[in-house]
């Protein structure tokens, strides 16, 4: 039976000094040295830079049609044209600039939606867990109800009725995800509520909000970073799925989901239209999943070691 | 026994309330959204008077509360989820100005539509989930017992890559490769069990990595526990330690993941059935939403949230059996 610990960082003898560091800092120290995290972070940074730089560098209009060059294959394939490294689609639009614009949209919607549901969810969770009593019960029942409506049903009900805009898609994603954070942070806040330092702060006259923001949040939130990273990946997939099903953002907006849905019709003779944007999406999700795995493992190692 | 009974009554009554509220929310959303079902059923060319008459006949003029009351009343008293706006019993579309009377008589009952599609979805779900479980358990346990060594790293890498492939994309790739290039398996539609294979594989690719991760992290964290480490001192062989303690302890996180996956299965099925044009409940759902077939959407939402609630109760109950410390 192996008794070796999972994480390379945790395998080192615990230095007495790290014991005194805050939980969040210890998790970060253990994460930083993980090769998975480094690989994921580099990949993520690369894709992010590509998406951001392409805003300024590429002057090719992703919706500009060019019928002479339609179905031009990507680099490496026979008959490729050098001005279209990823080829062109059925209307002769440049696939590289389309993919990069799709990447920008995915980043924008994913990051905004994750940040919003993190903020809303943890605000509700922290408050409910810290205050307790009736307020806690009411808030948590709302969370239960929200969680019992399957996200996909919620999404297609709302988006099936109204015309999708980026703001609406973000709201749907936030609506489907915030309860998770509320649940996670609530248990963290619950554990801190009766700690001595909280009582001491109360005796000194600190308000609830002050204690929550300055004392409880810095302890209860960092362990949830891994959930946020995984969620970012989930939100990005979800956004692409909605576009793919045709109820999210609509063509001609070149989101990754729209491009892949479009390209499916031409799988037989122009495989690259559907396949290559998917590769970018996969790399993006892969980078997030690697970082998330590293964070989760570090968190588990720190929590189990702290017992 | 008494504890179990009280657990079940408490959770089931809570669950009924949750399903009721979920139904209310979906019902409200559908009513406040744009689109007039009476206008749609009567057809675009009908005059206003016939639209109004139809609207009155369907009860769409009643106050919101009355409509919802009638709806819930019908479900509770005789399991009547209403009739589809669009579909007829023989599978053809009605309404939309084809000139036929859109009375309730020739419109399909929602429940029969759902029951008609359910078996195929269940078969697909069972095949995909079964495949995922069979693949993931040995790999996950094997990697978990070798935490920190190469099998562990390979498994993390492999499952990260698999979990990063969106199902709608991998489905396209598989169709391109297996159906178009190699012509081994049929790609879309359904006319025989052969059509289950590709969708089930896509479903398994989506779920297996998550089970693998759960197994490996649960097993490796169990092997770090003190009571496992000292078990050899108590004279237990490594086989006994593994089956009696490690597996049993790892079962709780596994069951929790299984619960989460069962609930997220619905979303996966919806996408996969849509991609493969597979005539199950997921495809019916997408179609119902696109066609604004409100009674059908409502009923599907109720069926699915009931399933959600039941899965959560089952997960908590079964976890309690494996780890008596968990208080349900």
List average pLDDT for each run of 10 residues in chain B, which is 328 residues long: 82 86 83 71 72 76 80 80 72 48 63 87 92 91 82 84 88 83 75 83 91 87 76 74 76 84 86 88 85 84 86 82 66
Cβ pair A268, B180 in contact under 8 A = yes
Nearest-CB residue to A157 (from B172, B217, B289)? B289
pLDDT at B128: 93
Cα separations in angstroms, A237 against A103, A154, B79 = 12, 16, 37
Cβ pair B178, B185 in contact under 8 A = yes
Over residues A279-307, the mean pLDDT reads 81
pLDDT at A52: 85
Cα separations in angstroms, A170 against A87, A257, B15, B34, B185 = 31, 15, 29, 20, 38
d(CA B4, CA A249): 48
Q: Is the CB of residue B266 less than 8 Å away from at least one CB of chain A?
A: yes
d(CA A275, CA A150): 29
Task: Report which of A292, A142, A284, A155 is spatially closest to residue B266, judged by C-alpha positions.
Answer: A155
Contact flag B290-A11 (C-beta cutoff 8 Å):
no
pLDDT at A140: 84
pLDDT tens sequence across A194-220: 778 888 888 887 787 888 877 778 877
d(CA A152, CA B304): 11
User: What is the enclosing helix (H) or strand (E) of A283?
Assistant: helix A272-306
**Least confident span in A9-13, A36-40, A149-153:** A9-13
Report the residue of chain B nearest A141, measured CA to CA: B18
Cβ pair A301, A9 in contact under 8 A = yes
pLDDT tens sequence across A219-255: 777 777 778 888 898 889 888 988 888 888 887 778 8
A285/chain B closest Cα distance in angstroms: 5
User: What is the enclosing helix (H) or strand (E) of A122?
Assistant: helix A95-131
pLDDT at A183: 85
Mean per-residue pLDDT over chain A, rounded: 79
pLDDT at A19: 53
Cβ pair B270, B182 in contact under 8 A = no
- List CB contacts (< 8 A) between A2 and chain B: 145-149, 223
d(CA B164, CA A284): 8
Over residues A123-151, the mean pLDDT reads 83
Task: Report which of B312, B328, B200 is spatially closest to residue B260, judged by C-alpha positions.
Answer: B312
Nearest-CB residue to B241 (from A1, A160, A162)? A1
pLDDT at B107: 75
Contact flag B172-A157 (C-beta cutoff 8 Å):
no
**Least confident span in A86-100, A249-263, A281-295:** A86-100
- Give, as one character, the DSSP assignment of residue A14: P
- What's domain A46-56+92-305's superfamily in CATH? MetI-like (1.10.3720.10)
In order of their start, the domains of chain B are: 17-112 (no CATH), 114-322 (1.10.3720.10)
Q: Is the CB of residue B149 less than 8 Å away from at least one CB of chain A?
A: yes
Q: Is the CB of residue B315 less than 8 Å away from at least one CB of chain A?
A: no
> pTM score > 0.90 for this model?
no
Listed in order, strand segments (DSSP E) in A74-204 are: none
pLDDT at A60: 62
Report the residue of chain A nearest B168, measured CA to CA: A241
Contact flag A267-B176 (C-beta cutoff 8 Å):
yes
A193/chain B closest Cα distance in angstroms: 21
**pLDDT class of A116 with cuts at 50, 70, 90:** very high
Cα separations in angstroms, B203 against B176, B196, B248, B264, B265 = 17, 11, 27, 11, 9
- DSSP line for B171-199: HHHHIIIIIIIS--S--SS-SSGGGGHHH
Domain ranges across chain A = 46-56+92-305
Nearest-CB residue to A6 (from B148, B232, B308)? B148
Contact flag B164-A286 (C-beta cutoff 8 Å):
yes
Contact flag B148-A268 (C-beta cutoff 8 Å):
no
Nearest-CB residue to A153 (from B148, B224, B301)? B301
pLDDT at A16: 45
Contact flag B166-A289 (C-beta cutoff 8 Å):
no
The set of residues, in sequence order, having a beta carbon less than 8 Å from that of A280 and lying 6+ positions away, is A47, A99, A102, A103, A256
**Chain position carrying tokens 């309404």:** B95
Q: Is the CB of residue B148 less than 8 Å away from at least one CB of chain A?
A: yes
Cβ pair B141, B219 in contact under 8 A = yes
CA A226, A232, A238, A241 torsion-angle sign: negative
Within 52-71 of B, beta carbons closer than 8 Å to A belong to none
pLDDT at A139: 87
- List CB contacts (< 8 A) between B161 and chain A: 282, 286
d(CA B260, CA B269): 14
Assigned token pair, B148: 């920190």
User: Percentage of residues in chain A with pLDDT exceeding 70?
Assistant: 82
Over residues A272-291, the mean pLDDT reads 88
Contact flag A244-B271 (C-beta cutoff 8 Å):
yes
**pLDDT class of A79 with cuts at 50, 70, 90:** low
pLDDT at A80: 66
Task: Report which of A141, A270, A153, A174 is spatially closest to residue B307, judged by C-alpha positions.
Answer: A153
Contact flag B221-A1 (C-beta cutoff 8 Å):
no
Task: Report which of B129, B276, A206 is spatially closest to residue B286, judged by C-alpha positions.
Answer: B276
pLDDT at A71 over 80: no
pLDDT at B127: 93
Assigned token pair, B195: 């059509």
- List CB contacts (< 8 A) between B263 and chain A: 150
Task: Report which of A163, A242, A257, A153 is spatially closest to residue B285, judged by C-alpha positions.
Answer: A153
Contact flag A282-B160 (C-beta cutoff 8 Å):
no
- List CB contacts (< 8 A) between B19 and chain A: 148
């Amino acid at each position: 039976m192996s008794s070796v610990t999972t994480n390379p960082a945790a395998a080192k003898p615990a230095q007495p000094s790290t014991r005194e560091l805050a939980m969040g800092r210890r998790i970060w120290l253990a994460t930083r040295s993980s090769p998975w995290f480094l690989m994921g972070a580099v990949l993520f940074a690369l894709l992010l830079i590509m998406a951001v730089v392409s805003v300024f560098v590429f002057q090719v209009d992703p919706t500009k049609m060019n019928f002479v060059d339609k179905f031009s294959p990507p680099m490496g394939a026979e008959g490729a044209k050098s001005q279209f490294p990823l080829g062109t689609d059925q209307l002769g639009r440049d696939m590289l600039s389309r993919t990069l614009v799709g990447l920008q949209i995915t980043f924008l919607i994913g990051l905004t939606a994750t940040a919003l549901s993190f903020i809303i969810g943890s605000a509700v969770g922290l408050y409910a867990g810290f205050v307790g009593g009736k307020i806690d019960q009411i808030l948590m029942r709302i969370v239960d109800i929200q969680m019992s409506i399957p996200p996909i049903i919620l999404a297609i009900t709302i988006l099936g009725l109204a015309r999708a805009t980026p703001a609406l898609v973000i709201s749907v994603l936030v609506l489907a995800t915030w309860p998770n954070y509320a649940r996670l942070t609530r248990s963290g806040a619950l554990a801190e509520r009766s700690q001595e330092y909280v009582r001491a702060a109360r005796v000194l006259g600190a308000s609830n909000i002050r204690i929550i923001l300055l004392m409880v949040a810095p302890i209860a939130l960092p362990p949830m970073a891994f959930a946020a990273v995984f969620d970012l990946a989930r939100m990005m997939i979800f956004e692409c799925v909605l576009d793919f099903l045709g109820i999210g953002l609509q063509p001609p907006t070149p989101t990754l989901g729209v491009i892949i849905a479009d390209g499916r019709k031409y799988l037989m003779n122009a495989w690259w239209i559907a396949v290559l944007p998917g590769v970018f999406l996969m790399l993006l999700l892969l980078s997030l999943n690697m970082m998330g795995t590293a964070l989760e493992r570090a968190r588990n190692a720190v929590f189990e070691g702290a017992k | 026994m008494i504890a179990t009974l009280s657990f079940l009554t408490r959770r089931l009554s809570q669950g009924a309330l949750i399903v009721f509220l979920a139904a209310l929310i979906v019902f409200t959303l559908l009513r406040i959204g744009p689109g007039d079902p009476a206008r749609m059923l009567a057809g675009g060319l009908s005059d206003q008077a016939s639209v109004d008459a139809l609207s009155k006949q369907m009860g769409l003029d009643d106050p919101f509360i009355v409509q919802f009351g009638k709806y819930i009343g019908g479900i509770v008293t005789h399991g009547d989820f209403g009739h589809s706006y669009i579909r007829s019993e023989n599978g053809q579309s009605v309404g939309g100005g084809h000139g036929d009377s859109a009375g309730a008589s020739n419109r399909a009952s929602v429940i029969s539509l759902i029951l008609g599609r359910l078996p195929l979805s269940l078969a697909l779900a069972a095949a995909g989930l079964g495949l995922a479980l069979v693949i993931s358990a040995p790999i996950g346990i094997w990697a978990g017992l070798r935490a920190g060594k190469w099998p562990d790293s390979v498994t993390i890498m492999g499952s990260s890559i698999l979990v990063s492939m969106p199902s709608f994309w991998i489905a396209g790739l598989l169709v391109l490769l297996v159906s178009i290039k190699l012509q081994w398996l049929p790609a879309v539609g359904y006319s025989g069990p052969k059509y289950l294979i590709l969708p089930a594989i896509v479903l398994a690719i989506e779920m297996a990595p998550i089970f693998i991760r759960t197994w490996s992290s649960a097993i490796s964290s169990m092997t770090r526990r003190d009571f496992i480490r000292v078990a050899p001192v108590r004279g237990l062989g490594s086989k006994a330690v593994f089956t009696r303690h490690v597996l049993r302890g790892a079962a709780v996180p596994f069951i929790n993941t299984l619960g989460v996956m069962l609930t997220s299965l619905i979303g996966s099925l919806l996408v996969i059935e849509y991609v493969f044009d597979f005539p199950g409940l997921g495809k019916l759902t997408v179609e119902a939403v696109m066609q604004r077939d409100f009674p059908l959407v409502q009923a599907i939402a109720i069926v699915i949230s009931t399933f959600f609630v039941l899965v959560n109760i089952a997960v908590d109950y079964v976890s309690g059996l494996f780890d008596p410390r968990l208080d349900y």
